[in-house]
Structure 1
Amino acid sequence: MKARSARRHRWNNRLQTLLLVGAMSLILALSAWLLLGETAWWLALVSLGMVLLFAPRMPVEWMLRGAGARPLRPGQAPELNRLVRQLAGRAGLEQPPQLFWLPGTVPNAFTVGDGRRASIALSDGLFRLLDYPELAGVLAHEISHIRNHDIRLMTLADTVTRITQMLSMLAQLLLLLCIPLWLFGLVAVSFTGVALLILAPVISALLQLALSRSREYRADLDACELTGDPGALARALQKLEWQEGHWLRRLIWRRKPDSAPSLLRSHPPTDERIRRLLAQARARRAPLFPEDGPGGRGSGTDLFHRR
């Protein structure tokens, strides 16, 4: 029953992703048609494909080194690289992602690149905050993003939104230029079409945020399958959520107040993610990674040699 439920959840997630990306592409095509005419809608889609296929890609290492990151070689972080190899093997990746260490006390983890060129950056603050099972959950979450090609998908969504914004700005500029002609009755202006062109980038951006939240839920679920320990990822999310608030704000409020409406968030509410993870934890038995791994529960994880 659990396997059937997991498969149903995956198919629902894929259908939701397809609908969101399709809706964004439809908005882009409609914007191009309203601005450029009946035969121009496909030009926007072709240009989108050309951008994704032929746009130069900055090497991942340059991006990370620009942020002050340095690679974590197997000799520097043997346990950490062994953990990533295990998770990557369970995820079916052709090769494990390259690990990078970021300076700074703010706990953070993110993935850049895709496929064989993927890399995961972990901040020093993250190592000091999380224990071994929690760090395994965070790494499994990032590796799930790589397996699901979420970076490529979100790049596509971002490109669609940017092109839609460009068309909207062009439409508004043309409207300003046509106002004198419209006042003298020399041209006709469809204010319905103008309104749609102005609203199009807003709708596309909201759909992009919804897509991002959907991929985060999917990565959480897949991370549970890779580690078998949803509770560890839930604890990691709770620590990260608590760490984001200022110490004085945490002292005054037991719970950090919401800084933005849920509709405008790129990530789902942490409470909801934790609730889903704990529901998964209650349905499982034992984690695949022991809690007495390097670092231990409740202590900072020192899995590489700092210099």
Structure 2
Amino acid sequence: MFLFLSYILYRYSGKILLRWYRAEKVASLENISKKAEISPPDMYLFDHPLPLIFTVGTGGRYAVALSSEAMDMFDKSELEILFAREIGHIKNGDVPLNTIVALFAGSFAAVSTLALWGAPFMGFGQNYDSAPRFIRFFSMGLVAPPAALVAQLLVACSREHV
């Protein structure tokens, strides 16, 4: 069951994320992708108060999403640099790797939530009982450092410089 859910999340995480942000397809990044010799990713625009840009997708179908705040903040040449950086991530294979890393780190972090929901079955969880919160904090304290270490080891800083 876990492997099936992991596959679904890996395969469709890009579409889920674009729907979450209500991103609208506006263009295709053909000029920059020709120079990188990859198929052009689609460009999506979404409303957000922070300047965000990210790449999603798997299996050769990628999309670059840009927030409206980033579109307003940067001029044309700066946006081209940002798009080139994202296309570099696509060419280097960073997007599927980052998806897998996020999946593993999220799985580690889910242990604390499972401990919280499992607390009533272990005899904890009455209204006056602070044990479920303690169990969650304790399990998160045990799980978060290894999850962060896995994420840090799998995604090296050298991959960030294209």
Scaled to the shorter chain, the TM-score interval is: 0.5 to 0.7
Tell me the alpha carbon deviations over residues 24-56 of structure 1, each in whole angstroms, 9 at most, x when there is no partner: xxxxxxxxxxxxxxxxxxxxxxx7654433558
Does residue 142 (structure 1) correspond to residue 86 (structure 2)? The answer is yes
Per-residue deviation at 1:87?
Answer: 2.4
Per-residue deviation at 1:110?
Answer: 1.5
TM-score, normalized by length of structure 2? 0.65
Q: Any gaps of 5 or more consecutive residues in structure 1? A: 1-46, 74-80, 179-196, 223-307
- Aligned in 2, Cα 1:59/1:165: closer, same or farther, shift over 3 Å? closer
- Aligned in 2, Cα 1:60/1:153: closer, same or farther, shift over 3 Å? closer
Does residue 206 (structure 1) correspond to residue 151 (structure 2)? The answer is no
Q: Distance in 1 between matches of 2:76 and 2:144?
A: 41
**Aligned with 2:40: secondary structure?**
coil
Q: For CA contacts below 8 A with separation 6 or more, give which structure has more relative contact order.
A: 1
TM-score, normalized by length of structure 1? 0.38
Q: Any gaps of 5 or more consecutive residues in structure 2? A: 124-138
Does residue 112 (structure 1) correspond to residue 56 (structure 2)? The answer is yes
Tell me the alpha carbon deviations over residues 163-190 of structure 1, each in whole angstroms, 9 at most, x when there is no partner: 334456667858x949xxxxxxxxxxxx
Q: Distance in 1 between matches of 2:155 and 2:10?
A: 28
Which structure has the larger Rg over C-alpha atoms? 1
8 A contact 2:102–2:151 mirrored in 1: no
Residue of 18, 23, 28 corresponding to 1:69: 23
Q: Distance in 2 between matches of 1:91 and 1:154?
A: 20
Counterpart of 2:45 in structure 1 is 101
- Aligned in 2, Cα 1:90/1:201: closer, same or farther, shift over 3 Å? farther
Give the aligned residue type for 2:18. Answer: L
Per-residue deviation at 1:121?
Answer: 1.4
Counterpart of 2:66 in structure 1 is 122
Does residue 53 (structure 1) correspond to residue 17 (structure 2)? The answer is no
- Aligned in 2, Cα 1:70/1:212: closer, same or farther, shift over 3 Å? farther
Per-residue deviation at 1:138?
Answer: 0.6
- Aligned in 2, Cα 1:70/1:146: closer, same or farther, shift over 3 Å? same
Structure 1 runs of 4+ with >6 Å offset: none
**Aligned with 1:100: secondary structure?**
strand
Counterpart of 1:285 in structure 2 is none
Per-residue deviation at 1:86?
Answer: 3.0
Give the aligned residue type for 1:70. Answer: E
**Aligned with 1:218: secondary structure?**
helix
Q: Distance in 1 between matches of 2:140 and 2:106?
A: 13
What is the alpha-carbon root mean square deviation over aligned residues?
Answer: 3.6
8 A contact 2:23–2:44 mirrored in 1: yes
Q: Distance in 2 between matches of 1:66 and 1:167?
A: 24
Percent identical pairs in the alignment equals 25
**What number of residue pairs does the alignment pair up?**
145
